């Protein structure tokens, strides 16, 4: 099989693996970008979320064949890709607990932050409510997203 070319974090990468290998494992085991996490492998948890343009995609559900020619941003490159304010809000809200699921949440939050829709509770529920966190970081995740929405207004 021929190598597949995709763009990850602004860099063109040629990958020569089985065409059904999900992007998740290409990132983690081939490109050594371990910030994207494996949580369920079935699209339930969102720990593996990455950005594809202005969309959030679950890298465990996207084969490398489907990823060919596309451009992706992972957590490692989030700051450079316009996500610094989201990261800053996450730190300010002390959102993470164990932190394992947070990469996916941050990716989703960065896409939400760039969307034109108002960042109210419904929008936060819709965008971030599809991510699982076993530590229960949700109250702080909501707070972090509100800090983003408030233009990083200082926490009272």
Partner 1 sequence: MRASRRRFLAVGGLAAGGMLLELATDGRLRIAGRALAAAGGASDPSFRPFAWLAIEPGGRTLVTIGRVEMGQGTRTSLPMLVAEELDADWERVAVETAEPGPEFPEMRTSGSWSVGGRYRSLRQMGARARAALIAAAAARWRVPAGACSTQPGQVVHAASGRSLGYGALAAAAAAAPLPANVPLKDPKQFRLLGRRTPRRDAPAIVTGTARYGLDARVPGMRFASLERCPVAGGKLLSFDASAARRVPGVRDVVRLGDSLAVVADHTWAAFSGRRVLEARWDEGALASFDSRAYRAQLAEASGRRGTPGRVVGGAEAAVASAARRLDALYEYPFFVHAPLEPMNALAHVRDGRCELWLGTQAPNWVQEDVAHRLGFEPSAVRVHVQLLGGGFGRRLGVEHAVEAAELSRAIGAPVQVVWTREDDMRHGFFQPAAAHRMAAGLDASGRLAAWWHREASSGQNFRGRVDPADPDLAANLMWGGVDNPYVLPVMRAEFVLVEAPIALGPWRAVFAPSNVMARECFVDEIAHATGRDPVQLRLDLLAANDDADAAQRSRRARLAAVIRLASEKAGWGRPLPAGRARGIAAHVYDGETTLAQVAEVSIDGGHLLVHRFVCAIDCGPVVNPLGLEAQVESGVVWGLSQVLCNDVSFKNGRAEISNFGDYPIPRLPETPVIETFAIEGASQPLGAGEQPAAPVAAAVLNALFAATGKRVRHLPVREADLA
Q: Report the interface residues with partner 1, using CB under 8 A.
A: 17-18, 20-22, 25, 28-30, 32-42, 44-45, 47, 74-76, 78-79, 87, 90-92, 94-103, 106, 124-125, 128-142
- Least distance (Å) from partner 1 to the CB of residue 152? 14
Q: Where are the alpha helices (DSSP H) in 93-133?
A: 102-114, 121-128
Q: Quote the CA–CA distance of 27 and 13 in Å, as a whole number.
A: 11
3-state secondary structure (DSSP) of residue 141: helix
Q: Is 10 helix (H, G, I), strand (E, B) or coil?
A: coil
- In the complex, least distance from residue 70 CB atom to partner 1, rounded to whole angstroms: 18
- Least Cβ distance, residue 92 to partner 1 (angstroms): 8
Other C-beta atoms within 10 Å of 51: how many? 24
Q: Which is nearer to partner 1, 53 or 99 (CB)?
A: 99
Which is nearer to partner 1, 12 or 42 (by Cβ)?
A: 42
Q: How far is the CB of 66 from partner 1 (least distance, A)?
A: 14
CA distance 121 to 63: 33
Closest to partner 1 by CB, 44 or 115: 44
Q: In what order do the strands lie in the sheet with 11-15?
A: 11-15, 4-8, 71-73, 49-52, 55-58
Between 94 and 114, name the residue whose CB sits nearer to partner 1. Answer: 94
């Amino acid at each position: 099989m021929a190598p597949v070319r995709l763009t990850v974090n602004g860099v063109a990468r040629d990958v020569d693996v089985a065409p059904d290998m999900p992007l998740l494992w290409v990132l983690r085991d081939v490109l050594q970008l371990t910030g994207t996490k494996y949580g369920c492998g079935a699209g339930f948890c969102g720990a593996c979320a990455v950005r594809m343009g202005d969309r959030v995609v679950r890298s465990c559900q996207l084969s490398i064949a489907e990823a060919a020619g596309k451009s992706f941003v992972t957590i490692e490159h989030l700051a450079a890709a316009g996500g610094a304010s989201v990261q800053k809000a996450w730190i300010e809200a002390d959102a993470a607990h164990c932190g394992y699921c947070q990469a996916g949440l941050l990716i989703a939050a960065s896409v939400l932050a760039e969307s034109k829709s108002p960042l109210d509770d419904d929008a936060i529920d819709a965008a971030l409510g599809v991510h699982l966190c076993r530590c229960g970081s949700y109250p702080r995740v909501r707070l972090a997203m509100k800090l983003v929405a408030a233009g990083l207004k200082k926490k009272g």
